[in-house]
Amino acid sequence: MRSVCVIGLGYVGLPLALLSLEKGYTVHGLENNPKKVEKLAQEHPLLLVNHADALLCDVIIIAVPTPVDEKKLPDLSPVRVACEQITEKLTGKGQLIILESTVNPFVSRKYVLPILEQSGFKEGKDFFLAHCPERIDPGNVQWNVSNIPRVIGALHPEGLKLATEFYRSIISGTVSPLSSIEAAEMTKIYENSLRAVNIAFANEMAIVMQNMKLDAKEIIQSVKTKPFGLDLCFPSCGVGGHCIPVDPFYLIDESLKRGFDPSFLRTAMRVNGYMPAYTVSLLMHAMNETGKSVKGARVGVLGVSYKRNVDDVRESPALDILKRVKSLGAELKVYDPFIPEYSNATAEEVMGCDAVLLLTDHSEFLDYDYSKVPVLIDGKNALEKHKVGGVYKGIGR
């Protein structure tokens, strides 16, 4: 296996394509966003983007989005389109197709495979299908595409062998072959559902503690002193990104179809989904304390991306919060150094507002002087309370 094609050059696909290139593979990429294509051509000239023979590669990796629709149901249409593209060009010479996008158990077998077999070729003989869920955590400097351990499932033992060899040839982390393709699908959804539940617990407890005038940050630091048996998350203004607010809905959908309502997980998703509204209620209470209404006030926003020092706004709770504050009649001044297209003000203008919402803990925000801010809502519990001059409210503190 000497050539690799990655379909979808986003947060997942691009690092993987570049790593494969670094490891000596000939690497093609397919990307349908023209802006990204232009940027890629300038920044990564060795990566062959949108060439006609891309789908003839030995290994084809699907890294397209797997979002949910307005009803929070899985939207597999990008996966379908990518599979149809592959089907048209399959060579029948033993290519390895790897789905990296996060999906439910049974999607590879019952959704992806039938599309690929419309080519007339047979899995296990003419081509192989494997699933290796991506676990990348954008912005994490310790764990990245080259060292995060991988798990792999495949339909056929030969596919499992080929996929295991491929990942072992590019990453330094452990590569674990699993008993089935469904085991690999479930592993990823389990991880993200567990995290969603843990975060929801932290968020719910934060509201409980805020009502008791206890400081959630202090309490969690204190709980942390127990050296065993803990998996702690901190509360915040909500969950964001393409994984935690989305993936559990895939599992909920599949489980409901099989007759079991995973109510624990549904409750977790409801709690996390409620946090933007809770954050806005904190703003209203805090402004009340200063005798001002949100209506007509200038409300500054620091940060729109869903997490620190990245430019990703997908499912960011900040987007919901912005909408809600706007609908209350406030004039919004927004600044995010990572996303100029969402910024309509400078940091100074934001800091001069009647109230400031800190919605992302970008490093530079931590050094600002908050002593003159009349109202500060700390959506990430990132600041020292005593450094804020006016009314301070964090999430649960």
Ligand X SMILES: NC(=O)c1ccc[n+]([C@@H]2O[C@H](COP(=O)([O-])OP(=O)(O)OC[C@H]3O[C@@H](n4cnc5c(N)ncnc54)[C@H](O)[C@@H]3O)[C@@H](O)[C@H]2O)c1
Q: E strands of 283-337, at which residues?
A: 298-302, 331-335
What single string gives the DSSP state of each residue in 153-187?
Answer: EESSHHHHHHHHHHHHHH-SS-EEE-S-HHHHHHH
Least distance to ligand X, CB of residue 28, Å = 11
Q: Which is nearer to ligand X, 13 or 276 (CB)?
A: 13
Q: Are 302 and 360 in contact (CB under 8 A)?
A: yes
Q: Which of 127, 131, 136, 133 is nearest to 19 (CA)?
A: 136
- Any residues with CB less than 8 A from the CB of 96 and at least 6 apart, and which? 1, 58, 59, 60, 127, 128, 130, 159, 162, 163, 166
Q: Which of 102, 104, 193, 203 binds ligand X (CB under 6 A)?
A: 102
Q: Are 23 and 170 in contact (CB under 8 A)?
A: yes
Catalytic residue (one of 5, 57, 237, 243) = 243
One character per residue 8-37, x = contact with ligand X (rule: CB under 6 A): xxxxxx----------------xxxx--x-
**By CB under 6 A, residue 101 contacts ligand X:** yes
Nearer to ligand X (CB atom), residue 48 or residue 297: 48
Measured between alpha carbons, how far is 47 from 323 in angstroms, rounded to an integer?
39
Indicate which single residue of 19, 37, 115, 136 sits in contact with ligand X (rule: CB under 6 A): 136
Size of the site for ligand X (CB under 6 A): 29
What are the structure tokens assigned to 379, written together?
A: 């959506």
* Rounded distance between C-alpha atoms, residue 305 and residue 342, angstroms: 9
Q: Is 306 in the site for ligand X (CB under 6 A)?
A: no
Nearest residue to ligand X by CB is: 10
The tokens describing 313, both together, are 């706004």
The answer to whether 78 contacts ligand X (rule: CB under 6 A) is yes
Minimum distance, C-beta of residue 150 to ligand X, in the bound complex (Å): 12
Under the binding rule (CB under 6 A), the answer on residue 370 touching ligand X is no
Both tokens of residue 259? Answer: 């007759």
Least CB distance to ligand X at residue 153 (A): 16
In the complex, what is the shortest distance from the CB of residue 139 to ligand X, in angstroms, rounded to a whole number? 9
Whether residue 243 lies in the annotated active site: yes
Q: Does 292 contact ligand X by CB under 6 A?
A: no
- In the complex, which residues of this chain contact ligand X (CB under 6 A)? 7-13, 30-33, 36, 63-66, 78, 81-82, 85, 101-102, 134-136, 138, 241-243
Q: Which residues are catalytic?
A: 243
